[in-house]
Chains A and B, each alone.
Chain A
Amino acid sequence: MTNEIILHLGNVNSYYGRGKARKQVLKNISLTLHKGEVLGVVGESGSGKSTLAKCAIGLVTDIEGERKLNVENSQMVFQDSYGSLNPAKTVGWILEEPLRVRGLRDKKELRRRAVEMLQTVGLEEEHYDRKPSQLSGGQRQRVSIAASLIQGSKLIILDEPVSALDVTLQAQILQLLVDLKERLDLSYIFISHDLAVVYQICDRVMVMYHGEVVEQGDVDAVYDNPQHEYTKKLLEASLSLG
């Protein structure tokens, strides 16, 4: 891990809606992500995790505060894998599109790269010609991951990337993400409701509650010695489950 800063948010507020319906969702969020780091984001449903991800990557534009993104391209694996894959296109087309946009025209090479990426995330060549609607939820999630990996982004925001997968597959994909990170020097923001998974792959963790960050620090420190009441509750709940 170097000290190069990939992403910085300083006192960010964010809003949804316009006019009277304008409603604040994030309050005073600050975070810094260094190169090679994995930052976990946890918190209950509706606490603003996905919104934070979209702010960070620039998809939510109604924000106040400071935002600096120091990578040329960043990608996001969206929580809803159904909405993040174009229903009118095939899996192959979806995976090839980033390469086409970057100027690769050779059909054979495009196909080879797409199939290779499919296999990397544990899918088969037979999925190449399928439409997203002809895949299971877990398969779609893996196509989303493949689509974000294929473009060589240095920052990837993963919004519950493995939540629809069974335990073995989950472990396999997580291992893949870790390997790729080491090999390609990637940085991740990893959103999850599974505290064990966060513990496993994150360097630091942020705990969100009602649109605010109530605690943030090294994973070990936060898990061993939670400061905020909400963090304690969250840890207790996950321990009693596990």
Chain B
Amino acid sequence: MKKRNWYLRLGVVITFAVAAFTLVGMFYTPYDATQMSSADKYAPPSLSHLFGCDQMGRDIFSRTLEGIGTTVTIALATLAIGFLAGLVIGALCGYYGGLIDEIVMRICDAVTAFPSTLLAIVVIAVIGSGKYNVIAALGILFIPSFARLVRSEFIKYRDRDFVNMAKLTGVPPLRIIFVHILPNTWPVLLSGLTIGFNNAVLAEASMSYLGIGVTPPDASLGRMLSEAQGYLFTAPWYTVFPGLVVILLILGVGMIGEGIRERIGEKV
């Protein structure tokens, strides 16, 4: 019992810290994140530039603050699209089953057969890069895995006697689905959301890293890491700090997910 809570608690603490950092970055950065200064090129960490400066003399601390905001926003927006659509599709398919369910699941199988980052790259190649296109591409590609997760939960509950009882009572099907069954699935769905969030962060980072995600001058953690690789030896702090933030972000959310899974005694 004790050990389980340990995961969850530390995860919550880390995530809160990162979230606070993100929120601050939305309203305040010590310097303008896009302001260049030739005097500060490759400046190492110091009191005036906590995380040092990059190849254009921009303050890395400020850029990290702003970048994490972009990355988290993209991840959350992606998640919102993927989760909401996946929820509706998965709930209906799982509850009703039948031919339509079969067809929808075959389509999901086909989509998830490819790594989602790869597919996102293809989509981006077609619709172009930029923050909103990344959100759209990743969001849509996340739908099948959420649909599958939600569906399997609904299959678990649809034949339970409390559902039978609701049917006999004359509760409308949509109310059975979203009011009677859905609350039972939250622990599993929440844990799925944490995995989805981390995948979205990594997908955004890798797409921006490949130069097809967030476009300059927007800062995102992925973009910063991508730029930083050219200066790994001249300015290691450029890689280290944004990298650490990505790791903390993923670690915190991942631990929350793990904590939830342990608590409900299930491996997803």
Given A86-B180, A88-B183, A88-B184, are A75 and B168 neighbors across the interface (CB < 8 Å)? Answer: yes
A101–B167 Cα distance when bound, in Å, is 11
Q: Is A242 an interface residue (CB 8 A)?
A: no
Verify B169–A76 contact, CB threshold 8 A: no
In the complex, what residues of A have CB within 8 A of residue B160's CB?
83-84
Verify A85–B168 contact, CB threshold 8 A: no
Nearest CB to that of A75 among chain B residues?
A: B168
Verify A151–B164 contact, CB threshold 8 A: no
Binding site of A, secondary structure by majority: helix, strand, loop or mixed? Answer: loop
Given A86-B184, A88-B183, are A151 and B169 neighbors across the interface (CB < 8 Å)? Answer: yes
- 8 A Cβ contacts from A178-216 to B: none
Distance of B150 from chain A, by nearest CB (Å):
15
Contact of B165 among A58, A84, A102 (CB under 8 A): A84
Verify B171–A76 contact, CB threshold 8 A: no
Verify A86–B162 contact, CB threshold 8 A: yes
Contact of B161 among A74, A78, A97, A102 (CB under 8 A): A78
Q: Is B166 an interface residue (CB 8 A)?
A: yes
A54–B180 Cα distance when bound, in Å, is 21
Q: Is B170 an interface residue (CB 8 A)?
A: yes
- 8 A Cβ contacts from B155-180 to A: 160-162, 164-172, 175, 180
Q: Is A89 an interface residue (CB 8 A)?
A: yes
Binding site of B, secondary structure by majority: helix, strand, loop or mixed? Answer: helix
Distance of B212 from chain A, by nearest CB (Å):
42
Verify A78–B164 contact, CB threshold 8 A: yes
- 8 A Cβ contacts from A48-101 to B: 54, 57-59, 73-76, 78, 80, 83-89, 97-98, 101
Distance of A201 from chain B, by nearest CB (Å):
22
In the complex, what residues of B have CB within 8 A of residue A151's CB?
169
In the complex, what residues of A have CB within 8 A of residue B165's CB?
75-76, 78, 84, 147-148
Count contacts on B: residues with CB < 8 A to the other chain.
17
Distance of A92 from chain B, by nearest CB (Å):
15
Nearest CB to that of A102 among chain B residues?
A: B170
In the complex, what residues of B have CB within 8 A of residue A98's CB?
169-170
Contact of A80 among B161, B168, B175, B184 (CB under 8 A): B161
Distance of B56 from chain A, by nearest CB (Å):
54
A54–B159 Cα distance when bound, in Å, is 12
Nearest CB to that of A148 among chain B residues?
A: B165
- 8 A Cβ contacts from A129-155 to B: 147-148, 151
A88–B163 Cα distance when bound, in Å, is 12
Nearest CB to that of B187 among chain A residues?
A: A88
| Most chain B Cβ neighbours within 10 Å, of A58, A84, A102, A147 | A84
Verify B168–A57 contact, CB threshold 8 A: yes
In the complex, what residues of B have CB within 8 A of residue A87's CB?
162, 184
| Most chain B Cβ neighbours within 10 Å, of A73, A86, A89 | A86
Given A83-B162, A84-B162, are A101 and B170 neighbors across the interface (CB < 8 Å)? Answer: yes
In the complex, what residues of A have CB within 8 A of residue B162's CB?
83-87
In the complex, what residues of B have CB within 8 A of residue A101's CB?
169-172, 175
- 8 A Cβ contacts from B122-178 to A: 160-162, 164-172, 175
In the complex, what residues of B have CB within 8 A of residue A85's CB?
162
In the complex, what residues of A have CB within 8 A of residue B180's CB?
86, 89
Contact of B167 among A59, A97, A102, A147 (CB under 8 A): A59
Verify A97–B164 contact, CB threshold 8 A: no
* A-B residue pairs in contact (CB < 8 Å), sample of 23: A59-B167, A73-B168, A74-B168, A75-B165, A75-B169, A78-B165, A83-B161, A84-B160, A84-B161, A84-B162, A84-B164, A84-B165, A85-B162, A86-B180, A87-B162, A88-B186, A89-B180, A97-B169, A97-B171, A98-B169, A101-B170, A101-B171, A101-B172
Known: A87-B162, A147-B165, A151-B169. 11 other contacts (CB 8 A): A59-B168, A74-B168, A76-B164, A83-B160, A83-B162, A84-B161, A84-B162, A86-B162, A97-B169, A98-B169, A101-B170
- Residues in A lying within 8 Å of B, measured CB to CB: 54, 57-59, 73-76, 78, 80, 83-89, 97-98, 101-102, 147-148, 151
